[in-house]
Structure 1
């Protein structure tokens, strides 16, 4: 039975399509009415669209001296290394003056290369002389073969009818054999001559190669020195590890900036702009410059150049920045110092000085006691010995007298090398003694050979002077041939003896050079072994140094070549090395008095500022605060103070200081 639909249901189903058609018609008519009017305004909007307004851009940078030379620690095969010679900060130098020299083992390498060059030249001379002696032997064999051929020709020229058939055939066979033997001897002589020429050319190449290597090493040794490229003042840099200032005897890595040579003081500003802000700056734009170290001071700078590619600055995050060089107006009169922080703002009333802040009280600073005469305590530089063990060291803070042992280093490699070199020296010395005996015997044998050859030549000469009519023609011709042969052999014997003497001399020179090289290495090892016991050159106070991890050295520590484990400080030349934040640097001046407090000793001492740092710098890798160094000198010689002790100083604001602030 089929189900039936109600009338109401059928009516609804029929009305739905009609309702949908009506709604669609209404929507289409409405969209058509709105499309035509909206098309015309869109075109003027696109044509009149304007670029967005330039947003404010803020730049940070620092003051840089334009005519400075960076003192870079030279490259070396070992690291870290010791700054063996470093002129004092503030020293006026001229172009070409020595500024920095590192400790390097290049001198030992040069001495070894010179010895190798001497040995190679001696070996080449010996080999060439031996080949020349062999070539003379082939010349002798060739002369003998020529004489044999000449005699064979004399015998072969006898008529067949005058001698037996057997003798005739024997003479012809001897002529054929002598002819072939002469060809062989001639080829052997030519081969020996070519061997002598090749060995001489190869030897020249070997010597030239060593000479080039020696010249390269000498050039490398010269690179261990840094000389001033311009006249100026030396300013020391700071270690990137602990923020300590580089001094003579400090440890550094190749490539570190140990300091700069500042010229006549012409300054500029280097700032960095974020990559996203680069489109809002252009060369020639005016910038307002303010300095953290000079409150209230402002200048108008001008963008001189902007780098074409951004660079990363890890200390600021993951962003990339363009380097902007900003020129300063001439005659600005501000006491700018390299490293000062600069705030730059374009389109912000450039050159308008802000109202100076209210006069602040003189700051309280922190520092530590240091000595102006401090000698580093470090292991010696022994070639091919990189690591040492600290066997013993005097207690920290101990007063060491002159001649007293400070530290003792150990290295098993030094002992091993000493034993090996001593064994090699004994072996080479025995070989040299045996060679001298053998060569003396060879000299006597050479003299006997020459005497014998000359005697044979004299005998042949006497035989050939017999009357030709008294002997057979064949025998006379052979005597003449023999005289020519023996005379030539006697001359070659003299030449060969001279060549052999030259070969023996070269061989002796090479072995003597090896012995001298081993003795030189033994002397260097013995000197280094003696230097592993560090003795105080003068009276001083021993202060331990910290490692790269911040820990102080202890007995049993492993010490790399070039690292200092302690410092021998002169207690009679103490001063305070302190830093002042950049924002308070304008409140400090030379001659300003200070009250120094030593927390550990409960002492209060009077001091005064004697020097200000020539550059601003970051305090350390862990603290990016910009600071300026200053030195304070005690008014009286303090008693009971030790270098390295922390102190607090309160600077006294005097009338001169207040005038500077105002």
Structure 2
């Protein structure tokens, strides 16, 4: 009786054990090996130009706020020396007009002074020559020894010579004094003209600097202001604040952010599959070029720890790619043969 009772129980246990073994086999066959799960690392990044020019207000004395008068169209291709941004320089133009008038007045004053001094110099030279002639004549009279002349005549000749000598010395002193005064006034006026010329030249350079031009060909990208919005014509910017950027498209690379937990599995030279969020249907290839050494928070709001990295692009498409485009990266843990490591 006991044997008949145990037999169905044993059969049930055997069936249950078979089901458990079959389920375990199915789970093993459905789960990939651990090596397959760890074959890729995912990350995010952004297209960045290695060679770019940031356009910002120039350094102008007594100016801190600059009004944007004109901006080149965003995403437009600029040639070398093309206008990037023009700031309002009307105040400088008004100051230049005033200084130019002042300069012309100073130059005219200098020219008049030189002409007047030259005329006075010639008159004093003529007077000196006349006094020299009188001096020589009276000297000869005073030196004549003639016993037939009366004592009064001899005293008169001596007095006339003394007067002529004094007049001659006075003419010499006047000419010398005029020359000294002439030189001092000329130096003062020349210094004034030179100062005004320097101020006018500085204003002209400052006005020219209000038009910022591209140092090389590239694509135009607007920068964000403190309010988080892109700059536009009519906005104000502070000195040194970038309002736009010109980027060379052939220098594009991806500035990536790698999670700290994935850092130990990565090295320079790994292949990267790149998907741009703007073109999710396209795939691009690249190589992990370098990994940063400093670990930081992803952002002020996101405290996830990340490391900066750079990814080069094997198939750069300058028709589609633009700086600032976000990308999703799939980094293969298999090194690329012959890949170079960036410093």
TM-score normalised according to structure 2 size: 0.74
| Count of residue pairs brought into register by the alignment | 298
CA distance in 2: counterparts of 1:371 and 1:429, whole angstroms: 51
CA distance in 1: counterparts of 2:94 and 2:303, whole angstroms: 47
TM-fit CA distance, 1:399: 2.4
Asked if residue 541 in structure 1 is aligned to residue 219 in structure 2, the reply is yes
The answer for the alignment partner of 2:320 in structure 1 is: 640
The answer for the alignment partner of 2:334 in structure 1 is: 654
The unaligned stretches of length 5 or more in structure 2 are 1-36, 337-343
The 1:582/1:488 distance shift into structure 2, 3 A limit, reads farther
The answer for the alignment partner of 1:608 in structure 2 is: 287
- How well do the aligned residues superpose, as a CA RMSD in angstroms? 3.1
Task: Give the alignment partner of residue 381 of structure 1, picking from 59, 64, 68.
Answer: 59
Asked if residue 393 in structure 1 is aligned to residue 71 in structure 2, the reply is yes
Greater relative contact order structure (CA < 8 Å, 6+ sep): 2
TM-fit CA distance, 1:409: 2.0
CA distance in 2: counterparts of 1:581 and 1:470, whole angstroms: 128
Residues 517-596 of structure 1: pairs in structure 2 closer than 5 A = 517-596=195-274
The answer for the alignment partner of 1:487 in structure 2 is: 165
CA contact (8 A) 1:387 1:411 kept: no
The answer for the alignment partner of 1:628 in structure 2 is: 307
CA contact (8 A) 2:221 2:247 kept: yes
CA distance in 1: counterparts of 2:89 and 2:237, whole angstroms: 10
CA contact (8 A) 1:362 1:588 kept: no
Asked if residue 430 in structure 1 is aligned to residue 90 in structure 2, the reply is no
* Counterpart secondary structure, 1:654: strand
CA distance in 1: counterparts of 2:82 and 2:328, whole angstroms: 34
1:423-449 alpha-carbon deviations (Å, 9 max, x no partner):
112211221221122112111122123
TM-fit CA distance, 1:456: 3.2
1:271-306 alpha-carbon deviations (Å, 9 max, x no partner):
xxxxxxxxxxxxxxxxxxxxxxxxxxxxxxxxxxxx
CA contact (8 A) 2:53 2:214 kept: no
Residues 314-463 of structure 1: pairs in structure 2 closer than 5 A = 363-402=41-80, 404-463=82-141
The answer for the alignment partner of 1:80 in structure 2 is: none
CA distance in 2: counterparts of 1:361 and 1:579, whole angstroms: 18
* Counterpart secondary structure, 2:165: helix
The answer for the alignment partner of 2:8 in structure 1 is: none
* Counterpart secondary structure, 1:572: helix
The answer for the alignment partner of 1:289 in structure 2 is: none
CA distance in 1: counterparts of 2:300 and 2:201, whole angstroms: 43
CA contact (8 A) 1:591 1:609 kept: yes
CA distance in 2: counterparts of 1:441 and 1:622, whole angstroms: 82
The answer for the alignment partner of 1:47 in structure 2 is: none
CA distance in 1: counterparts of 2:120 and 2:306, whole angstroms: 79
The unaligned stretches of length 5 or more in structure 1 are 1-358, 657-662
The 1:511/1:544 distance shift into structure 2, 3 A limit, reads same
CA contact (8 A) 2:269 2:335 kept: no
